[in-house]
């Protein structure tokens, strides 16, 4: 009999534990009908908004004295609900609390406590998950990174977090290269989803390239970066032009630089043009000399004509050309000359004139001899 009484008490006690959280059996019955944390999972130092919905499922109205949220690892930044609030039977009240955490990854609880006038107290524990795992960035690089040559970099952004990451942008940073596009927008990534972006990079010199991924967890901005060394090998298959056999001569009212332009590179040079720069003013007939295509190991004669003020004795010859991919190259070579010698040349009679003079001498001599024989 005694044993049966103990078992009965236990059954009753267990039965009481299974009853939903209520203020009391009769009168008002307050229950937490819903709660939501935004963002669903906090990262360290994040601010979130916890929304709790309280429903009176009883038959009597109740008056709430206060509704508080408390936590240890999760700090509640404001508890604004300290005034009396009536809640009728079947009604629902919504309470929002800003929360923040500095905790390490884990599952923590905040306690929602409602004190109401009808003599009851509601306590309800709400779980809050903290996970500071950032977005993952994977960069697929081209097989060969060559100076001055385009290469495609594939940036893959993955979301290993248990909740959505929003407003995701990828921004390349660094110097010593040209890159397109300058940034790219991904938007929202669901958990375990990924997205990839292609960037075209032309390395100009040895440097670093950093891909910065900006994203948001709720209202909190976060950044993930990955930095890669940019160590381009010298492009061994570019055209390379050299000027040889340079001669500077004087023409009628202009100076002329002539010589050979040779392709000492391993690929053809296209759209090769030469002109003078610096203080020289290009002049007709060859303001710009167009050499066209020059195959590797071949050369072409060129000449450029220009005028230059008296003190100038050095003039740069500017060479512009492109490779097969259309990448533009520019080079220059300073050409030095002696203006006095050139001035002398400019006024020096040509061989034709000298020959003409000698012919005149012969003609006049012949005339004189002829007239004397006649006389």
Chain positions contacting another protein, by CB under 8 A: 250, 252-253, 310, 339-340, 343-344, 346-349, 353-354, 357, 360-361, 364, 367-368, 370-372, 374-375
Output 288 or 365, the one with its CB closest to another protein: 365
φ, ψ dihedrals at 157, nearest 5°: -110, 120
Q: How far apart are the first and last CA of the chain?
A: 181
Output 67 or 308, the one with its CB closest to another protein: 308
Output 68 or 339, the one with its CB closest to another protein: 339
What's the min distance (Å) between Cβ of 342 and another protein?
Answer: 9
What's the min distance (Å) between Cβ of 314 and another protein?
Answer: 17
Output 82 or 341, the one with its CB closest to another protein: 341
What's the min distance (Å) between Cβ of 285 and another protein?
Answer: 16
Q: What share of the chain is helix, strand, coil (3-state, %, to 5)?
A: 15, 55, 35
SS3 labels along 84-133: CEEECCCCEEEEEEEEEECCCCEEEEEEEEEEECCCEEEEEEEEEEECCC
What's the min distance (Å) between Cβ of 297 and another protein?
Answer: 39
Output 59 or 344, the one with its CB closest to another protein: 344
Six token digits for residue 119: 């003599």
What's the min distance (Å) between Cβ of 181 and another protein?
Answer: 57
Strand 254-263 and strand 106-116: the pairing is unpaired
**Strand boundaries in 102-234, DSSP class E:** 106-116, 120-130, 136-140, 151-158, 165-173, 177-180, 184-189, 194-203, 207-217, 220-230
* H/E segment holding residue 55: strand 47-56
Output 56 or 305, the one with its CB closest to another protein: 305
What's the min distance (Å) between Cβ of 283 and another protein?
Answer: 13
């Amino acid at each position: 009999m005694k044993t049966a009484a103990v078992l009965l008490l236990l059954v009753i006690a267990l039965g009481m534990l299974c009853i939903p959280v209520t203020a009391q059996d009769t009168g008002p019955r307050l229950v937490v009908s819903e709660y939501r944390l935004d963002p669903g999972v906090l990262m360290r130092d994040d601010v979130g908004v916890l929304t709790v919905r309280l429903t009176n499922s009883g038959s009597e109205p109740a008056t709430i004295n206060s509704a508080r949220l408390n936590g240890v690892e999760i700090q509640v930044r404001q508890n604004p609900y300290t005034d009396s609030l009536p809640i009728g039977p079947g009604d629902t009240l919504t309470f929002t609390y800003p929360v923040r955490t500095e905790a390490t990854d884990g599952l923590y609880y905040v306690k929602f406590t409602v004190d109401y006038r009808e003599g009851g107290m509601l306590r309800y524990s709400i779980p809050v998950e903290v996970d500071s795992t950032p977005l993952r960035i994977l960069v697929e690089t081209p097989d060969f990174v060559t100076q001055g040559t385009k290469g495609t970099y594939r940036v893959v952004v993955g979301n290993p977090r248990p909740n959505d990451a929003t407003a995701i942008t990828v921004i390349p940073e660094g110097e010593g290269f040209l890159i397109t596009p300058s940034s790219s927008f991904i938007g929202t990534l669901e958990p375990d989803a990924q997205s990839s972006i292609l960037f075209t990079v032309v390395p100009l010199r040895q440097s670093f390239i950093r891909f910065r991924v900006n994203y948001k967890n709720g209202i909190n901005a976060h950044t993930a970066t990955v930095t890669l060394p940019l160590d381009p090998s010298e492009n061994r298959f570019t055209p390379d032009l050299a000027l040889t056999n340079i001669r500077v001569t004087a023409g009628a009212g202009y100076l002329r630089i002539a010589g050979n332009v040779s392709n000492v590179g391993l690929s053809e040079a296209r759209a090769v043009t030469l002109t003078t720069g610096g203080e020289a003013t290009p002049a007709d007939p060859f303001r710009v000399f167009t050499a066209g295509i020059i195959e590797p190991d071949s050369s072409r004669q060129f000449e450029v004509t220009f005028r230059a003020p008296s003190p100038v004795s050095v003039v740069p010859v500017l060479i512009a050309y492109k490779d097969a991919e259309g990448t533009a190259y520019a080079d220059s070579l300073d050409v030095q000359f002696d203006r006095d010698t050139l001035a002398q040349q400019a006024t020096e009679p040509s061989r034709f004139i000298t020959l003409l003079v000698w012919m005149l001498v012969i003609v006049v001599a012949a005339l004189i001899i002829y007239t004397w024989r006649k006389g």
